[in-house]
Structure formats: structure tokens, C-alpha cells
Structure 1
């Protein structure tokens, strides 16, 4: 299992795709984004155009461990793009229209951790090389609102969980991969 992290537009996806291309063989790209507005639709379209046309895409953000189990024989490489978006979708699945002040962040975090724990366990044992992309959201200023602060905290803990389980971890800085943890 490989974890690739970094800031927004740092080159994380491109690096993940380069690693997959070098490995060769069939690639399954699990995209966790959902179209919520015109901007998100454009972002999704951009990422789709960047991927090789022969790759297979599966769009989901729930139960990714099960998706890996179902497809690991067919695909030697599986990319999950991205955990931060997965977390956002899971958060709003649980919170729905609840006001930020009334959100049960403990329940939200437990639900997200259940999903990422299942993903981590399967990814570590999968026949496929699983490449997970996530955003590093904790290197900036402390956000000025409750939702952003709580999200940043949960994301930090999830990223720690993933990094601890990964064989290889890369931090992407301005398009340059910096090895943080390697199995070599």
C-alpha cells in the first residue's frame, strides 16, 4: 500500500498515475468525487481527461475495501483518489442538513474511521498495489470556523492511520515527490 499526500494542486494525482503507469497492467481508478456543482463537474472532467483512456474508473466513496476485494484479481494496480473527498462525502452523508453547531463530530469521525479502517486492512492484504491519494490539510493556519477545524482534525488523524499502515509514503511538494517512508 502506498500513500501519496500533499497540498492542493501539488501534483499528487499525477505522481500516483505515473507510479501506476510504470507498474504496467490494468489499472482501476476509484474516484471518490461526486458532482455537487458546476465547478466540481469541471474538476472531475479535468481529472478524467488526464487519465489514460484504457484505465477503468469506478466512482464510489463508500465501502472501498469491498470494491478492492471484488477487483483485485483483475487489476494489479488500484488508485484511490482521494481520501479527503471521501471524508467530505461521508461527513455530509451523516450530517445531512444539520447545522454545524448541532453536528455530532464524534459519530462522524467514528463512521469515517470505520470506512478507512476497513479500507486499510484490505489494502494491506490485497493482491493489487493500492495507491491512496490524500490531502495534507494540517500545514496551514488554523481555520476560522468550527466545521473546517473539526474536518482538519479528523483528516489529520485519518492520514496518520493511513501512513502508519502504508509501506510507502510520499509527500508531494510543488510536483516533486519526497519520500517520507519507504519499504526499500
Structure 2
């Protein structure tokens, strides 16, 4: 079973994805954290996520090779979050084709996987190439993930509505 929670930043998608995977798991799920610390503000956000999930998850940190991290894991996996992973991939010089290949491999796995992804496609077109590349990659990968998922939830103001 594959599920996607997509929504704006601070929409509540992470909390709803956590509740969803806990409710639908027979075993303690793995929380695959993709964020790399880039500044103190990011550390505060990560610390808040750690507090929110408490001891309900086994935490695994992997900023780049998420397929490798998931493929041997027997328990359900919450990928938090795909947007930060895309950011990391660009930062480390990888391209859209690398990301697309990795996501396709993940979608072929048998494990239960819940993806969290920021919906960044509702704004204006940025004035710099890196931001445009990020938005383009995010939009294309969100479509790829959504097609490969059994369920997709769009989250606004803490409310997740099933759209697939």
C-alpha cells in the first residue's frame, strides 16, 4: 500500500500522515527523516517533528539514498519529506532523472510507504533557475508518486481530504 499526503507548508500533512500510518500499521513504523540541517531554524523544525512523533516510530535518517534505506526495511515507512529530499538531491548535484529513477524504484517495492510532500505548484513562477527547477521537479515527482499510490490525501488547514 502506497499513500501520499500533499499540501502546503504547515498545512498539517505531516501530523495527519503520522496518524494515518500509526492507525494502519501492525508494527512500529519507520520514520525516514530526509532533512539535512542547514541552519538553526531548520533544527528547530526538526526538533518539533521529533517531539511530535515521540516513541511511536523507529527513526532512520537518510537525506539522499531513500530507496536503499527503504528496500530492506520490513516495517511500514513514512518518508518525511519528499520535498526536503528533492532539495538535498539538487544541493548535492543530482538531477531530475536521478530523482525520477529513485522514486520509480521505491514505488515498485512491496512495503507500505506513506509519502509526505509539499505542494509548491500554486504560486508564481520564481525568478531564479534553481527555484524553477525545484518546482518543476516537485510537480513532476508529485504526479509520479500520486499515480503510483493507492491513496492520495490533500491537506489544508489540518484537514486531509482523500482525492484518490
Q: Deviations over 1:148-173 (max 9, x none)?
A: 11210111001000000000000001
Q: Is 1:149 aligned to 2:124, yes or no?
A: no
Unaligned runs of 5+ in 1: 96-107
Aligned counterpart, 2:84: 85
Q: Is 1:39 aligned to 2:44, yes or no?
A: no
Question: Which of 54, 57, 76 does residue 55 from structure 1 map onto?
Answer: 57
Deviation above 3 Å: which 4+ runs of structure 1?
A: none
Aligned counterpart, 1:176: 159
Q: CA RMSD in A?
A: 1.3
Say which one has the larger Rg: 1
Aligned counterpart, 1:111: 98
Task: Report the CA distance shift for 1:3/1:54 in structure 2 as closer, same or farther (over 3 A).
Answer: closer
Aligned counterpart, 1:121: 108
Unaligned runs of 5+ in 2: none
State the 1:16 CA deviation: 0.6
Aligned counterpart, 1:102: none
| Richer in helix (by share) | 1
Whether the 8 Å CA contact 1:113–1:158 is kept in 2: the answer is yes
Distance 1:94 1:118 in 2: 20
TM-score (norm 2): 0.93
Whether the 8 Å CA contact 1:63–1:119 is kept in 2: the answer is no
